Chains A and B, each alone.
Chain A
């Protein structure tokens, strides 16, 4: 089963590099790269560490379903308002 994530989106939003995130969660910066690309599924511990670093629930970062694109989310938010 595929595991999708949006670590790169949160990283870009907070303006931090792979290396800074890797240092914060205690892994090699290559591991963050492989995680973002979906080549590696993290352990629960690492997923929780990353979620805690961004201050969000783990479901916000990882999902078994594809995440909605940012454009679609913004469009929907605009329609709700």
Chain B
């Protein structure tokens, strides 16, 4: 007998969700004896891609703004890719974006919480420095080069994308390079 289409679709959705491993992790965390051997996988190279991409986009908007205006659909994709990549990187489990900064969350112990706090402090400190130095620089540059409104707008949007990408990827990058490989027991 042929199974109904809706049932097949729902069972596929269930299988997809199980494949992510999230239901097993939730069940483990909610059990009476949650396991302690979970590992945070260091991501040393993946976060570099969205950062490099959004840096390239920012430089492109500064030096060659007509290139972004000419290909409107391509420009949108170019702008979306780094920020989406940053979100994906942030969701990958090196450090949890949604965990509290100062104290262990449901899953994280004190070392992981301290690492997360250090990572965010580093990231926010760096972002503050970059923005404090970058804003006057951009203002002087716009005045010096007589930027049009469209040019200023594209630089502002790409700067926003760069900020979002750095905020999403830098903590993961910092935490990953801080995690040294442990020898097997």
Interface residues in chain A, defined as those with a beta carbon under 8 Å from any beta carbon in chain B = 17-19, 22-23, 26-31, 33-35, 37, 39-40, 42-43, 45-46
Assess the B111–A28 pair: CB atoms within 8 A: yes
The yes or no answer to B143 lying at the interface (CB within 8 A) is no
Assess the B109–A39 pair: CB atoms within 8 A: no
Assess the A40–B111 pair: CB atoms within 8 A: yes
Assess the A23–B110 pair: CB atoms within 8 A: no
B185, closest chain A residue (CB) = A18
- A-B contact list, 19 entries, CB within 8 Å: A19-B37, A22-B36, A23-B36, A28-B36, A28-B37, A28-B38, A28-B109, A28-B111, A28-B112, A29-B37, A30-B39, A30-B40, A31-B109, A31-B111, A33-B182, A33-B185, A34-B111, A37-B182, A40-B111
Assess the A19–B110 pair: CB atoms within 8 A: no
The yes or no answer to B70 lying at the interface (CB within 8 A) is no
With a cutoff of 8 Å between Cβ atoms, the chain A residues found around residue B183 in the complex are 33
The yes or no answer to B3 lying at the interface (CB within 8 A) is no
